[in-house]
Structure 1
Amino acid sequence: MTNKILYTLAGWVALWLINSLLINQQQILNALKAI
């Protein structure tokens, strides 16, 4: 039971990290285009 919760939390953290990295990358690309 505890392991399932830990894996779920780890999955959410991984998804959040990937999403934030993708968003940051998109913002950087937009900033470069604006220059």
Structure 2
Amino acid sequence: MNAQITKVIYHIESNLDENFDVETLARVAGYSPYHF
């Protein structure tokens, strides 16, 4: 699996009590929100 997407999955699984937005997940992956 793509390393950036793996980081996002790990981030989500580690923070299940949080709300996520595209900007945050894109930042974790190292992408712009547009490309995420």
Report which of the two structures shows the higher radius of gyration computed on alpha carbons. Answer: 1
Q: Which has the higher helix share?
A: 1
Q: TM-score, normalised by structure 1?
A: 0.42
Q: TM-score, normalised by structure 2?
A: 0.41
